[in-house]
Structure 1
Amino acid sequence: MAYVITQTCCNDASCVAVCPVNCIHPTPEEREFATAEMLHIDPQTCIDCGACADACPVEAIFPEDTLTPEQARFAELNAAYYTAHPTPDGWLPLTPTPAPPRDRGTLRVAIVGAGPAACYAAQELLERSDVEVEMFDRLPTPFGLVRAGVAPDHPGTKTVTESFERSFRRDAFGLHLDVEIGRDLTHADLLAHHHAVIYAVGASADRHLGIPGEDLPGSHAATEFVGWYNGHPDYADRTFDLSGTTVVIVGNGNVALDVARILTTDVDELARTDIADHALEALRRSNIREVVLLGRRGPAQAAYSNPEFLALRDLHGVDVVVDESELELDPVSARLAAADPAVELRMRLAREYAQTRPIHWRKRIVFRYLTSPTELLGDDRLTGVRLVRNELIEGEKRTLVARPTGDHEDLPAQLVLRSIGYRGVPVPGVPFDERRGVVPNTGGRVENGVYVTGWIKRGPSGVIGTNKACAKETVAALLADFDAGRLTAPAAGRRELTRLLASRRPNRVDLRGWQAIDEAERAAGRAQGRPRVKITDRARLVEIGARRGPARLFRRLVPM
């Protein structure tokens, strides 16, 4: 019997490191890891030891004979990977990391950001005993997109924060929340108190469609909607018109699928999650019956992952609708599907949906392929979307490019959410590539003492666990520079930094402040049978987290 990796795989490769027979692939050292939707266990090699399941931070690994009916297809996904990668001779062996020299004193590193990229970087650094880490974030709460981006109906994915919090408890770690670089501290301040600064600030700006009507009321970025239902303080006061029956989502990546699920999932099911209370109440009053997802290319090139696409069939009272005529592939896409088991499976799932007869009274999620919006319609507010049918043509470097055909149609809709990607924003005092929306770097190095990791380093790609390998590369570069004596020793240390923060941001939220916020939310959740009830008002978060005497409050709530 083999173990099987299922939908909530975070790709952080914790399981790879503990597998005694190297049967989990792709590993971070292998080329496919950068684009893998999930990791896979070889059913022929697995020795059923269970080490991977114990190490998994998101509880995504199970013995094959314990899989639920909904999880059964993941055994096929795992096995299919090894059909395409049949020879383990090409896999790179796992190698131990050599012990570093310890003769240069204590390395002090500032990390800007508190999302998964930042937390993985902190974990990598804190594996050494000669490092102190100070983490800064402009929000009063940590964990970035794990807290404010992961859909509330995916609680397993959020358990990755438990491993991050273990790192937070180290004496060599300092947490400084509600501290904004550029407002409370400058880039120069960070360099004056640290050998190096790692920016892990993500990609917070959304991309625009660039079509007429995009600014009409009723047209929003999916980023805003996701932040709204997840209780992000910056978006908690937003309103979305759910009085109509149809929502159009431009894009068909995993974020688009998250939004479609939240709009169609039974509200009583959502009420058992940590969805923001204001979103829950709005969804109770929602009239939405249909969510249409637009993909400019074909089903073989769809941006969603197979696990997320597969999981849609488990939505209670929701049909997934695919027009079988849109599944006819051009010759290049057909060759791609024949050569790649993941694409072949994607097409097989799409055909299964296409052959399922919708029930008229149920809600529906409709996938439209080879379709792009050309204009958002309406005068004072949005009333619909003008669409154009695309065809795929071969572009430069034999890539397939979507080209409009001139075949148009109008689709009535009262709400449009664009989910076409993110881009980074400039960091004061740090170089920036406006075209790519990232900080230019080489393996994470920007300039002497300045490094990047996560989306601001590589662009918005991958899943939560992808950031682990990304952070590992950046931290390796930083440590190599430190061990080689290339980093400038800071003029001041932790004590001086604490004094500076006390003068600039006296009501900042530290670790014990976050623990007080966390316990307040969990306590409110326990009273309602939910994981937590998120506090969405920034002032209230700061009031709880920055209250003088938080250590006494925390000791009363949680045994030390």
Structure 2
Amino acid sequence: MSAYCSRWTLRFLNRLCVSGLAKTNNKHVQHFSSQTSPSVQVCIVGSGPAGFYTAQHLLKSHKGIHVDIFEKLPVPFGLVRFGVAPDHPEVKNVINTFTQTAHLERCEFFGNVTIGSDITMEELKMAYHAVILCYGAEGSRSLGVPGEKLSGVYSAKDFVGWYNGLPANKDLNPDLSSDAVVILGQGNVALDVARILLSPVELLKKTDITQASLDSVAASKIKRVVIVGRRGPLQVACTIKELREMVNLPGTKPVLDRRDFEGIKDALKDIARPRKRLTELLMKVAMEEPSGRDAERWAAASQEWSLRFLRSPIKILPTADGKKVAGIRFAVTTLEGSGENAKAVLTGQEEEVSCGLIVSSIGYKSLPIDDGVPFDETQGVIPNDMGRVCQTPGLYCSGWVKRGPTGVIATTMNDSFETARCVLEDIDSRVLDCSMAKPGHHALRGLLEKRGVTPVSFSGWEKIDALEVTRGDEIGKPREKLLDVQEMLQLARA
């Protein structure tokens, strides 16, 4: 732990003691005992949106349910904390709702507990009537091309984790000294990465981006970001909100090739309204001369971004010493079919782009959690029927591990409610046998102690939260996140 972090922690703990905030909160400090409860005991693995939305629906709909939420990190909220872009604070407002759920008497949070090692799935099944897996997608899809292990090539998952303060990525330290960056993929995450790299530091200073990341962006030499997709303008995966933010980003100008949009106007009448509006904005940027304030802003811009279509990566090119990325080679593609079902096929042509940084944003990937849980390696999901894990009574799933890494937080909410309804139906129909009492987390006391694991309660998280907000307030930010797990644990247990 750095001396800086230690000083902050000690100073803050003194404040907590003086103010009385460090007094034991009986609601949230977990006291394990041997007692059991006749209520329905439900365990949720993962404290991101899927986990909290599932818990919310269960607790609201059934007064006899008690929910324990297990999280491997000391802090809750998953991708809301570590995936949402720092300059999108409005999206993070769902944390307020999740906090209300965590404060309910029939809900307990257990951070710093890894399912699969600290506690096994079999042990969970013995302690709970139902186990719901909501642990998301911690892996990244591989490019599968030579050179992707070179220094300067990152997955979007890791890159986003770096600027959002995910402890596992705190030492990523990407080199932003080159003038060109290539981002592979054209979804919202790809645009998030591009926007953070190109945003004026004055804007980022007002967000919860980590200070180390902010310093790196402030010293960046990046002038050009190329956002590449295998297919065409009608298949880009971003939303119009994200695209509009890029178009309006101060200090930058968009560079689109009008030839990519020839003939597309004729197809607009047959596509859904969201896609139509998105395509119309792309066409306007590509084919119309800017006017008014846009013209002035783009003329004065010192940085640019572009969307490059119909390109598929085939090799990452190294520097002369073979250690770092120097560029990327693409196969030029063409489309067969139309609309969302159009497929990219090779033309035989190739193209190279020089760059010093590559971020692969081609998708997150869920990973298997335990040998006893069915897992589809090809699809990267747990095989399920509306959230009921196939051929495994009492086991359910929700979120990305259920349907794959697609959709926004609202999509996850609806998906989680569906899983919760299935659990409730199974309780009512007695498909889920709740006739015998189960001990829930009370049965895990000895196991966790024996394995040297001390869970972090929700009140422990609130100490971390309070320190982060205090640190942020002193430098004009909404929060300055703790990056070191041991410091989090020290503070939470104080």
What is aligned with 2:228? Answer: 294
| In the alignment, structure 1 residue 421 sits paired with structure 2 residue 363 | yes
State the secondary structure of the residue aligned to 2:63.
Answer: coil
Query: Shift in Å at residue 289 of structure 1?
Result: 0.8
For residues 343 and 501 of structure 1, do their structure 2 counterparts lie closer, same or farther at Cα, with a shift above 3 Å needed?
same
TM-score w.r.t. the length of structure 2 is 0.86
Matched, 1:339 2:274: no
Structural mapping, 1:194-213, within 5 Å:
194-213=128-147
Q: 8 Å contact 1:337–1:343 — kept in the other structure?
A: no
User: Quick one: which of 53, 59, 62 aligns to 1:120?
Assistant: 53
Deviation, 1:211, is: 1.3
Residues 12-55 of structure 1: CA deviation (Å, up to 9, x unaligned): xxxxxxxxxxxxxxxxxxxxxxxxxxxxxxxxxxxxxxxxxxxx
Matched to 2:256, the amino acid is: V
1:62-92 deviation per Cα after TM superposition (whole angstroms, max 9, x unaligned): xxxxxxxxxxxxxxxxxxxxxxxxxxxxxxx
Q: Is the 8 A contact 1:300 1:337 kept in 2?
A: no
Instruction: Please state if 1:368 is matched with 2:308.
Output: yes
Q: 1:461 to 1:361 in 2, by over 3 A?
A: closer
Aligned-residue offset at 1:342: 2.1
Deviation at 1:407, TM superposition (A): 2.2
Question: How much does 1:336 deviate?
Answer: 5.6
- In structure 2, the partner of 1:108 is 41
The Cα offsets for residues 236-270 of structure 1, whole Å up to 9 and x where unpaired, read as 01121111000000000000000000000011211
Q: In percent, how many aligned pairs have the same letter?
A: 39
Deviation at 1:335, TM superposition (A): 3.2
CA separation in 2, counterparts of 1:152 and 1:216? 28
Pairwise mapping of residues 139-288 of structure 1 onto structure 2 (< 5 A)?
139-288=73-222
Counterpart AA for 2:276: E
CA contact (8 A) 1:179 1:505 kept: no
Kept after mapping to 1: 8 A contact 2:388/2:397: yes
User: CA offsets per residue over residues 90-122 of structure 1, 9 Å max, x none?
Assistant: xxxxxxxxxxxxxx9511100000000000001
Query: Counterpart in 2 of 1:322?
Result: 256
Displacement of 1:286: 0.7
Give the aligned partner of residue 467 of structure 2: 520
Q: Distance in 2 between matches of 1:329 and 1:315?
A: 28
Q: Deviations over 1:114-155 (max 9, x none)?
A: 000000001001102111000001011100000000000001
Contact persistence 1:202–1:455 (CA under 8 A): yes
The 1-side partners of 2:142 and 2:356 are apart by 19
Offset at 1:352?
Answer: 2.0
Task: Tell me if the contact between 2:251 and 2:300 (Cα under 8 Å) persists in the aligned partners.
Answer: no
Name the structure 1 match of 2:324: 381
- Are positions 1:350 and 2:282 aligned together? yes
Quote the RMSD (CA, aligned, Å): 1.9
Distance 1:490 1:536 in 2: 40
Call closer, same or farther: CA 1:319–1:482 in 2, change over 3 Å. Answer: same
Residue type of the alignment partner of 2:373: V
Partner of 1:440: 383
Q: 1:393 touches 1:401 (CA, 8 Å); kept in 2?
A: yes
Partner SS state of residue 465, structure 1? helix
In 1, distance between residues paired with 2:247 and 2:332?
27
1:475 matched residue in structure 2? 420
**Long gaps (5+) in structure 2:** 1-36
Query: What is the SS of the residue equivalent to 1:124?
Result: helix
Q: Is the Cα–Cα contact under 8 Å of residues 267 and 284 in structure 1 kept in the other structure?
A: yes
**Letter matched to residue 302 of structure 2:** R
Letter in 2 for 1:546: R
Q: How far apart, CA to CA, are the structure 2 residues paired with 1:166 and 1:278?
A: 31
Q: Which residue of 2 aligns with 1:97?
A: none
CA shift, 1:297, in A, is 0.6
| CA distance in 2 between partners of 1:257 and 1:168 (Å) | 32
1:405 to 340, 347, 358: 347
Alpha-carbon contact 2:45-2:135 (below 8 Å) kept? yes
8 Å CA contact retained: 1:192, 1:490: no
**Which secondary structure does the structure 1 equivalent of 2:69 belong to?**
strand
Deviation at 1:360, TM superposition (A): 6.6
Corresponding residue pairs, total: 441
DSSP 3-state at the match of 1:531: coil
The alpha carbon displacement at 1:217 in A equals 1.2
Deviations 1:262-287 (A, max 9, x none): 00001121111100111111111110
2:490 is aligned to: 543
SS for the counterpart of 1:159 is helix
The verdict on how the C-alpha distance between 1:403 and 1:530 changes in structure 2, with shifts beyond 3 A counting, is same
Task: Give the AA of the match of 1:473.
Answer: E
Shift of 1:329: 4.2
1:457 alignment partner, one of 391, 397, 402: 402
Which amino acid is the alignment partner of residue 81 of structure 2? R
For residues 327-347 of structure 1, give each alpha carbon's deviation from its aligned partner in whole angstroms, at most 9, with x where no partner exists.
Answer: 1246xx943654322222122
Aligned counterparts of 1:326 and 1:134: Cα–Cα separation in 2: 52
C-alpha deviation, 1:398, in angstroms = 9.4
**Contact preservation (8 Å) 1:508, 1:546:** no
Q: Write the letter of the residue equivalent to 2:393.
A: N
User: Partners of 1:530 and 1:153 in 2: how far apart?
Assistant: 11
Distance change >3 Å, CA 195–CA 259, structure 1 → 2: same
Q: Secondary structure, in 3 states, of the residue corresponding to 1:359?
A: helix
Q: Which amino acid in the other structure matches residue 121 of structure 1?
A: T
CA distance in 2, matches of 1:542, 1:334: 59
**What SS is found at the alignment partner of 2:119?**
coil
SS in 2 for 1:160: helix
Indicate how the Cα distance of structure 1 residues 136 and 122 shifts in structure 2: closer, same or farther if over 3 A, else same: same
CA-CA distance at 1:463 after TM superposition: 0.3
Deviation at 1:454, TM superposition (A): 0.2
Alpha-carbon separation, structure 1, partners of 2:53 and 2:100: 12
Q: Which runs of 4+ in 1 moved over 4 A?
A: none
Deviations 1:469-512 (A, max 9, x none): 11111111111111222224454344333454444454321111
